[in-house]
Structure 1
């Protein structure tokens, strides 16, 4: 490859990472919005449903994709968390103890509760994540002897989230599949003994796109879950508010990666067009007397969501309004209603 093509590829990866950071922030923000607007119990139920849905959709196919579906259940489950999170840029440690016992540890800083967000996350919400995903891996594998023992939670002031998968000698009842043992501590991590992705099938371009998609997938799951859980009206408010808050905070960061700048409607229309491209969506832009119209032909993130509801589009409406406010004052953003809330989505900037 030439130096020019290398630079172009690095620039593409920077754009993908900016999109990942934006959607990562949106997902974390969405949980905090539910905590502050609806309370801990609703936030915990929301997180449980998001992670259970992800687990049901991603876990078994992911084991095959990673080439670890042949391993003993406890080892396969732990290695899945180690490798899949590593792809998404989440720091996780894996420690094998036996075929029936394997540890995972999420050391600080925690990806999902980035920065100061961790101060606003109740322990019950973090436990809901474990109930939604980790506690259900045995059921997904068809082995009800497999459970997860949590020994630490970072949101409780401990030095990370950690625990181990354990295959018992008897089937577990549902309330036995996640238990806590705070008196125990994970062994030290040794990178030399940890599993690794096969380099040939996971070259850097694939890893960079997977890094972007990892964060986006959480929003793809969270939006329809929120609509089903809270109803379209309440979900619309929460999805839109979160998007606006996050967009205002992240414009500069995303714009820098997209080689864009602050300004007026012209600059924001160019920014939005670049953002669509960075998330693999197609848009066409037309201009008339200082007003820009962007016709978004695709929203790949929500393409195959079976229970998609028009309220899910409030994710984009909120984000774009917030990003516009970060770009400059008095930039109007309006989405023309469409049948079923599906593309083409027509955005007026002016």
Structure 2
């Protein structure tokens, strides 16, 4: 099992949880609440990662429209997301996410209402001008895959006037992005971004969305309801994905799965033999919660629901008992 294969397995695991959180919000709370959650996720994530990411990618000295579009292109390339880019001029640059969409994989896209997808654009794309100190920068969406268009696409354009908040995102489906030419697209400097760094960043890309969703769901829906939604989605994802993830990690039993998953996430993990002959799995950290200032216990409970769902999918009679802050005993049924 290579490190890169393990990191890819973790990326898929958390990608599924993030998509599941949004779908659970749509199904259990309705499109308006789901849109509010998606808006909160993307606005929070933008605040935490956009400007540092621009500097890391060497884009902070470019014209605002070009910097914004190149950021989305390069950061999504790193995240393993299909993306295209066309620069018309220093004040207008296109970005396009062709199908299949990373964020709504497979048939899950059929469950995403248009307003939920648009909330992502309002949360992040429409706010890039504010973050860059360019009040005239807006985003024009020319297609959404969830509506049946052949991709999510649009362009950043810098106006000669400051835009009011409602005008920072417009829809213009009569327009279309020019054909993408990969030979003219921005490229990551290979010396600074070797394959190993890109693979590790893809793991972090998916985990960061879940970390942000944990905080956003609690902020938007409250601790009790937000935590319940997060945990419900986590349990379902654990049930559905445990066997594929365990196979990808090379784990043949559930304890090995828990240890391998923790290690692939970047945390040390081990098993301790107990006097009664049982085994306790201990982690030295919880990477998905790392970086959250004073995480509410409901957030760890929601994350732990991934493990409870996974065990139920592995052996429906077994039980997982927490015996420490980050320690669990598996109790046979």
Using structure 1 for the length normalisation, give the TM-score. Answer: 0.92
2:126 match: secondary structure = helix
CA RMSD across the alignment: 1.2
Contact 1:317 1:335 in 2 (8 A): no
Match of 1:95 in 2: 86
Is the aligned partner of 1:284 residue 2:284? no
Match of 1:275 in 2: 261
Match of 1:184 in 2: 175
Distance across 2 between alignment mates of 1:236 and 1:197: 38
Contact 1:20 1:214 in 2 (8 A): yes
Distance across 1 between alignment mates of 2:178 and 2:146: 20
Distance across 1 between alignment mates of 2:277 and 2:138: 60
Alignment length (residue pairs): 330
Contact 2:228 2:302 in 1 (8 A): no
Match of 1:295 in 2: 282
Name structure 2 gaps, 5 residues minimum. Answer: none
Match of 1:21 in 2: 12
Contact 2:17 2:237 in 1 (8 A): yes
Contact 2:99 2:151 in 1 (8 A): yes
How far has the Cα of 1:328 moved from its partner? 2.4
Is the aligned partner of 1:318 residue 2:305? yes
Name structure 1 gaps, 5 residues minimum. Answer: 1-7, 262-266, 339-343
1:347 match: secondary structure = strand
Is the deviation greater in 135-144 or in 307-316? 307-316
Match of 1:83 in 2: 74
The equivalences for 1:218-297 within 5 A come to: 218-261=209-252, 267-288=253-274, 289=276, 291-297=278-284
1:65-105 deviations in Å (ceiling 9; x for gaps) = 00111110000000000000000000110001010000000
How far has the Cα of 1:291 moved from its partner? 3.0
The equivalences for 1:110-121 within 5 A come to: 110-121=101-112
1:297-350 deviations in Å (ceiling 9; x for gaps) = 2113322212521111123221101111222231211224x7xxxxx4221212
Distance across 2 between alignment mates of 1:290 and 1:192: 61
Equivalent residue for 1:147, pick from 132, 135, 138: 138
Distance across 2 between alignment mates of 1:16 and 1:313: 21
Equivalent residue for 2:53, pick from 58, 62, 65: 62
Equivalent residue for 1:39, pick from 10, 15, 30: 30
Equivalent residue for 2:155, pick from 160, 164, 189: 164
1:163 match: secondary structure = strand
How far has the Cα of 1:233 moved from its partner? 1.1
Match of 2:187 in 1: 196
Contact 1:240 1:315 in 2 (8 A): yes
Contact 1:273 1:283 in 2 (8 A): yes
Is the aligned partner of 1:309 residue 2:290? no
How far has the Cα of 1:194 moved from its partner? 0.3
